[in-house]
Amino acid sequence: MPEMRAVVVKGGKGPADAMSIKQIPKPEPSLGQALVKIKAFGLNRMDLLQREGLYPLPPQAPETMGVEFSGAVEAIGADVGSAFKVGDAVFGLAYGGAYAEYIVVDTGMLIHKPAELSWEQAAGVPETWITASQALNVIGEFKKGQSVLWHAGASSVSICGIQLARAEGAKAIYATAGSKEKCDFLVNELGVTAAINYKTQDWAAELQRVTNGAGVDLIVDFVGANYFQGNLDIAARDGRIVVLGLMSGSKLPNDVDIGPLLFKRLRVEGSTLRSRELEYQRRLRDSVVEHVVPGLKDGTFKVFVEKVFPFSEIVEAHTLLETNRTRGKLVCVI
């Protein structure tokens, strides 16, 4: 059986230095799938959780980490009318398996790579832009003229979401971040209305001030428990709160006041992407092709890649991601 190099975790889970590159069986495409020779893959926070054994994998996911990649189509499984052919430059989203030389993925999750994007940039697009679009448009039901708050503002998803919200006519865009450098980046490079350093300011009180008490229409949160009360407090009437992560945990303090849920008619909804059925993910992929790819081609949208690592330095890449000091994407090239 043909083999390929892939990142494996000794014992199935562990710290960053438990990872190494080994030979594993090379996958083969079946009906409706393509085999892609990977040029680059993006790193995501879920990869850290998966490595540590803390991320429940969907049943169709391989053990190998990695959900986004760029590369060239090497083979197509039986598929009448596929929009892809051998040799096509593509990028895409997968249930897993991108930390490897080859990946098999449903052709409905592939996107033709624009010539304007490098392999490294393209590898950083799928997970983040699809997640941001899902949070803003599908779950948040954003409408032109509303205000939006992106927590973890310098994270890859928020960087994409801020750009999308601007392009789609937000009246104000706010963000929280953990350093002056990140706040300056958000204001000066991404054009947010206000960026609040949560380490030096009471972000909820500051947002009450800058919105003159009106609050924010749509809040996208990755933090969870520690931000739950603040989100309720600064949400505008009929506001929506989209929860995409639980970086501070899932157990709420005993004194949380849920009164604003009722009195402001708020909607709080959590969402994941990786566990969604293929048909749902395909619809999101189609939305990115329609709304995001043109902006990537003409330069309206920027892909912020913070650092590129060779495949052999996957341990160093994970170690950097764990620091929470990055803004934009970390990418590995093969």
Is 8 found in the same domain as 116? yes
**Could you give the CA distance from residue 138 to residue 122 in angstroms, rounded to a whole number?**
23
Averaged pLDDT, 171-199: 97
Q: Given this model, what pLDDT does residue 325 score?
A: 84
Domain residues for 199?
A: 129-270
Is 295 found in the same domain as 223? no
Q: Is the pLDDT of residue 260 over 80?
A: yes
- Output the domain CATH number for residue 24: 3.90.180.10
**Could you give the CA distance from residue 305 to residue 54 in angstroms, rounded to a whole number?**
26
- Which of 240, 270, 300 corresponds to the end of one domain? 270
Is 138 found in the same domain as 69? no
Is 139 found in the same domain as 100? no
**Could you give the CA distance from residue 143 to residue 167 in angstroms, rounded to a whole number?**
12
Please say whether the beta carbons of 198 and 191 come within 8 A: no
Beta strands in the chain (DSSP E): 3-9, 19-25, 33-42, 68-76, 89-93, 102-106, 110-112, 147-150, 172-177, 194-197, 216-221, 235-243, 267-270, 305-310, 329-333
Percent of the chain beyond pLDDT 70?
A: 99
Averaged pLDDT, 125-138: 94
**What does pLDDT average to over the chain?**
94
- In tens, the pLDDT along 264-303 reads 999 999 998 888 888 989 899 998 998 899 999 999 999 9
Is 281 found in the same domain as 246? no
Count: domains in the chain: 2
- In tens, the pLDDT along 199-214 reads 999 999 999 999 999 9
Predicted TM-score (pTM) of the model is 0.90
Percent of the chain beyond pLDDT 90?
A: 86
Is 260 found in the same domain as 169? yes
Residues in Cβ contact with 259 at an 8 Å cutoff, skipping those fewer than 6 apart: none
- Which of 237, 270, 303 corresponds to the end of one domain? 270
Is 116 found in the same domain as 191? no
Is 185 found in the same domain as 291? no
- Output the domain CATH number for residue 153: 3.40.50.720
Please say whether the beta carbons of 109 and 286 come within 8 A: no
Is 158 found in the same domain as 118? no
Is 249 found in the same domain as 136? yes
The confidence band for 73, taking pLDDT boundaries of 50, 70 and 90, is very high
Is 284 found in the same domain as 320? yes
